[in-house]
Amino acid sequence: MFEDFETDLIHVGEASVFVRYGGEGPPVLLLHGHPRTSATWHRVASRLVERGFTVVCPDLRGYGRSRGPAPTADHAGYSKRAVANDAVAVMSSLGHGRFALAGHDRGGAVALRLALDHHDAVSQVAFMDCLPISEHLSRITERFATQWWHWFFFAQPDTPERVINADPDSWYRGDPRSMGQANHDEWREATRNPAVVRAMLEDYRAGLTIDRRHEEADRAAGVRVRCPTLVLWSLRDDLEDLYGDPVRIWEHWADDVRGHGIDSGHHMAEEAPAEVAASLGAFFGG
């Protein structure tokens, strides 16, 4: 994976962020989702480098080989604001003060926070198979609660750690054929680490508490994403089935929105890398 990419562990205050980066040209930051690591981008990153971009892929705070602070009762150490600040610091340390940005799943929530808090740093942003957390929570139905029950299970204290760590391979199931063997091996090593599991759960606990409050405060204050925005969603997942056209929802948050579906399941960077890279490359290069 990631041929000709460099790796580093960058210390950013209370966190240390493992990062892969390579290529030459305009910088692009790719943020993964749960329960993946930066390796999920391995088939997309190489294609974007071929298109003439510098590509940066960090492990989010606490995920993979990145580490964050000890959890606290308010979950602030794993808020999307804290993780977004990590990303800006990493990009700055690599010499990129302004960059294009894409976030998938939980990485999409980080990308939203980054675009809202650091709008001068983001030239374009792509949100992949995600909505703002507060939009999900304002639309809770029996179907959402049934299909997305893990959000609320993960938010419980202590119990999820005991359940998941008892047999992480059974809880987190992945296919090395679809993921790629090296990506799968890295992901499995991470999910067998209780510290990583705890951090991933803190991500969800922050989502239902401090992150939701941050989003609702921005919405009430009229804070919006100012840069061009691309929305991509998986046609074989449930986002469009649950909510209709995701672009319509993102228009409440961003001034300039376009988007389309990708013929894949949820992990589109692994399942449809050529289409994802073409969509991102065309958008970021436009």
pLDDT at 7: 98
Task: Report, as an integer, the average pLDDT of 72-80.
Answer: 98
Domain assignment of residue 79, yes or no? yes
Nearest residue to 108 via CA among 14, 162, 30: 30
The C-alpha atoms of residue 111 and residue 134 are separated, in whole angstroms, by 14
Domain assignment of residue 159, yes or no? yes
Domain assignment of residue 150, yes or no? yes
- 286: confidence class by pLDDT, cuts 50, 70, 90: confident
How many Å from the N-terminal Cα to the C-terminal Cα in the chain? 28
- Which residues are paired to 30 by β-bridges? 102
3-state secondary structure at position 222: coil
Average pLDDT, the chain: 97
Percentages of the chain per state (helix, strand, coil), in multiples of 5: 50, 20, 30
Supply the CATH number for residue 270's domain: 3.40.50.1820
248 Cβ contact partners less than 8 Å away, ≥ 6 residues apart? none
| Token code pair at residue 77 | 């150490």
Residue range 179-225, pLDDT digits in tens: 999 999 999 999 999 999 999 999 999 999 999 999 999 999 999 99
Domain assignment of residue 254, yes or no? yes
Helices (H), the chain: 42-50, 80-93, 106-117, 133-137, 142-147, 150-154, 159-166, 168-171, 176-179, 181-191, 194-206, 212-221, 239-243, 246-250, 268-271, 273-285
- 17: confidence class by pLDDT, cuts 50, 70, 90: very high
Is 266 marked active-site? yes
Distances 94 to 44, 160, 213, 230 between C-alpha atoms, Å: 20, 36, 31, 25
Contact of 73 with 238, CB cutoff 8 Å: no
Catalytic option among 34, 119, 184, 266: 266
Domain that holds residue 142: 6-285
Domain assignment of residue 58, yes or no? yes
The C-alpha atoms of residue 232 and residue 266 are separated, in whole angstroms, by 11
Domain assignment of residue 91, yes or no? yes
**Domains of the chain: total:** 1
Domain assignment of residue 1, yes or no? no
Domain assignment of residue 149, yes or no? yes
pLDDT at 227: 98
Task: Report, as an integer, the average pLDDT of 87-93.
Answer: 98
Burial 159-192 (b: 16+ CB within 10 A, else e): ebeeebeeebeeebebeeeebbeebbebbeebbe
The C-alpha atoms of residue 232 and residue 166 are separated, in whole angstroms, by 35
Catalytic option among 75, 86, 104, 105: 105
Is 218 marked active-site? no
Residue range 220-246, pLDDT digits in tens: 999 999 999 999 999 999 999 999 999
Whether pTM exceeds 0.85? yes
**How many other C-beta atoms are found inside a 10 Å radius of the C-beta of residue 193?**
14
Residue range 127-160, pLDDT digits in tens: 999 999 999 999 999 999 999 999 999 999 999 9
The C-alpha atoms of residue 7 and residue 5 are separated, in whole angstroms, by 7
pLDDT at 180: 97
